[in-house]
Structure 1
Amino acid sequence: MRLMFLAPLLMPMTAEAFTARNGMTAVQTGPAEITVIHEVRRGDTDYWCAAGDFVQRVMGAPGNTRLWRASQKPRGAGDGIVFTLDKGKAAEGAGLSQFGSGPRDGSIPVSMAVGSFCRVIVPYFD
């Protein structure tokens, strides 16, 4: 009986959730991995925004830090998206196409993720 009371204390602690400027939730799930929690009616760029915002404001990384998608496409129903700062953990063919200068490896700088993709979402009411 006493063990049941102590069980929650022995479970691993969950990462602290962060609310991005677009209202989505992101958590750090590894040394260089950020998971953005699934939300209905959100596009891929909303996930990139939340991951980039996390990297800038929580991790304190500069705007030129590269961000890759680590989750394979397509995303399953109800699944969030995992992003990484480690090029070696990038999912093949799951990044964004980018025009202009910079590497064509599916990554984008976090400043682009935040500056181009973060927008205030007005709640949708059924």
Structure 2
Amino acid sequence: MRLMFLAPLLLPLPAAAFTAQNGMTAVQTGPSEITVLHEIRRGDTDYWCAAGDFVQRAMGAPGNTRLWRASPKPRRAGDGIVFTLDEARAAPGAGLSQFGSGPRDGSIPVSMAVGSFCRVIVPYSD
């Protein structure tokens, strides 16, 4: 009976799992695709942070590398979000709006994803 509760803990994470600085898990799922796994109580910007952090630290890409959302909106409950470095794979209307200079194609530089959206999540304790 106890083993039934332990079974989910025994399932391995994908080999290339990466823990972003905000604690979320990102995985490279294609040559230019990054999937950020679902977590409850996380906003869209948390997913952008994890994807940007993965691109910068795990892939070693420069901060000016553009990042698009490949998963269409709306996201179904329990689904993660797929991001891409390939503009051709971007989901129409699923990106972020950005003010100032730069392309208005829904993409943001990974340095902006990390610098603007990454925040350390401190666990709540009594």
In the superposition, the TM-score normalised over structure 2's length comes to: 0.87
Distance in 2 separating the partners of 1:116 and 1:108: 11
Number of the residue aligned with 2:16: 16
Q: Which runs of 5 or more structure 2 residues have no equivalent in the other structure?
A: 1-13
**Superimposed CA distance per residue, residues 31-56 of structure 1 (whole angstroms, 9 cap, x where no aligned partner):** 00000000000000000000000000
Number of the residue aligned with 1:73: 73
- Given the alignment of the two structures, is residue 104 of structure 1 paired with residue 112 of structure 2, yes or no? no
Number of the residue aligned with 2:54: 54
Number of the residue aligned with 1:7: none
Q: Which amino acid aligns with 2:51?
A: A
Q: Which amino acid aligns with 1:72?
A: P
Number of the residue aligned with 1:28: 28
How far is 1:124 from its partner?
Answer: 4.6
Moved over 4 A (4+): none
* Preserved contact between residue 70 and residue 89 of structure 1 (Cα < 8 Å): yes
Q: Which amino acid aligns with 1:95?
A: G
RMSD: 1.3
How far is 1:97 from its partner?
Answer: 0.4
Measured at CA, do residues 15 and 32 of structure 1 come closer, stay the same or move farther in structure 2, by a change above 3 Å?
Answer: farther
How far is 1:28 from its partner?
Answer: 0.1
In the superposition, the TM-score normalised over structure 1's length comes to: 0.87
- Identity level (%): 88
Q: Of the two, which has the highest radius of gyration?
A: 1
How far is 1:122 from its partner?
Answer: 2.1
Q: Which runs of 5 or more structure 1 residues have no equivalent in the other structure?
A: 1-13
Report the 3-state secondary structure (helix = DSSP H, G, I; strand = E; otherwise coil) of the residue aligned with 1:40: coil
Number of the residue aligned with 1:123: 123
